[in-house]
Copies of this chain bind each other. A is one copy, B any other.
Amino acid sequence: MEMLSFASDYMEGAHPAILDRLCETNMMKSPGYGTDPFCESAKELIRRNCECPEAAVHFLVGGTQTNATVIDGLLAPYQGVIAAQSGHISTHEAGAIEFCGYKVLELFQKQGKLSAETVRAYCDAFWKDENHEHMVMPGLVYISQPTEYGTLYSLEELEALRKVCNEFSMKLYLDGARLAYALGCESNDVSLADLARLCDVFYIGGTKCGCLFGEAVVIPDPQLIPHFFTRIKQHGALLAKGRLLGIQFETLFKENLYQELGKTAVETADQLRKIFTEKGYQLVYDSPTNQTFAVLENDRMGELSERVQFSFWEKYDESHTVVRFATSWATTAEEVKKLETLL
């Protein structure tokens, strides 16, 4: 019998509309490094979606690369970046931020989220410390939307974070690796325009949201990071055939595909959560997006893993484990049904 898979949201190639467009344009000639008309058009569409006509938009290949390049662009050498202890840059980027010379200042989180209060308390203590000139100055706050736990910042929470950044002259950067699954979520009240208004930089994730690869970095104030093109190159993050990124993001934003595919994935995840709950499984984290975290009894987990792929998340207790089921634009109702029969 075929294996079901809910292991991640990047198990296929690309959304078919993207692949079609890549085929269609394949033999057209264009100059390299993002100076092609596809990129121009994609940038314009993104600016329009963000209601931010002045924004600089840059396309990079992957998430860790984007985080390292942007954070390196935003920090002064004597500064560090505040992040949740569960933040992707804190845990799963192999020290890419430190490799660039910066400390990640890891703060306590709840449900994967940093609160404005936590950030304020930290900064307050820093600036009041008479030895703060011997310490790493907080210069930037890093958050992800959705978080690594699938949870969402509300507009109110984001505005509070913006406020604390202003109070302490810090910048705000939002990692949108899975942003489609926030935008496609009914309970989400934060639009792209809100992000452009509240963040100094954010990125619209492509890799985990239907692209072959690619992340679109939005910098509302185009003067913010001087010579960002050269810095992307210096980080080894400049794609020679930049058009591939333009073509993909043009497809995602021409007819609202990005939001649509996010919605599809969230719907199957909602269905999954309903099934888990009905069958008496405990869910952890209040994730309304495409990731679902369930507690499985260890033996049950072992059996299930022979029929369906999912991710180990963390130990719950001696006899139980938290596991993650991810849906994507590619997950079908049929796959969810099949999973239901196995639970």
Which residues from chain A sit less than 8 Å from chain B, CB to CB? 5, 7-8, 10-14, 16, 19, 22-23, 25-32, 61-69, 72, 76-78, 80, 91-96, 98-104, 106, 130-131, 133-137, 207-208, 212-213, 226-227, 229-231, 233-241, 243-244, 312, 330
Q: In the complex where A134-B94, A135-B91, A233-B133 touch, is A12 in contact with B26 (Cβ < 8 A)?
A: yes
Q: Which 6 A-B pairs have the closest CB atoms?
A: A65-B236, A13-B26, A94-B233, A94-B234, A11-B29, A95-B136
A227 vs B136: C-alpha distance when bound (angstroms): 11
Q: Are B8 and A27 in contact (CB under 8 A)?
A: no
Which residue on chain B has the smallest CB distance to residue A96? B234
A213 vs B68: C-alpha distance when bound (angstroms): 21
Q: Are A27 and B7 in contact (CB under 8 A)?
A: no
**Please, which residues of chain B bring their CB within 8 A of the CB of A136?**
94-95, 98
A261 CB → nearest B CB, Å: 14
A317 vs B79: C-alpha distance when bound (angstroms): 29
A173 vs B72: C-alpha distance when bound (angstroms): 25
**Please, which residues of chain B bring their CB within 8 A of the CB of A241?**
10, 13, 207, 212-213
A84 CB → nearest B CB, Å: 15
15 A-B contact pairs sorted by A residue (CB < 8 Å)? A11-B30, A11-B31, A12-B29, A13-B243, A14-B26, A22-B22, A22-B212, A65-B237, A72-B77, A78-B231, A80-B95, A91-B135, A94-B234, A95-B234, A133-B230
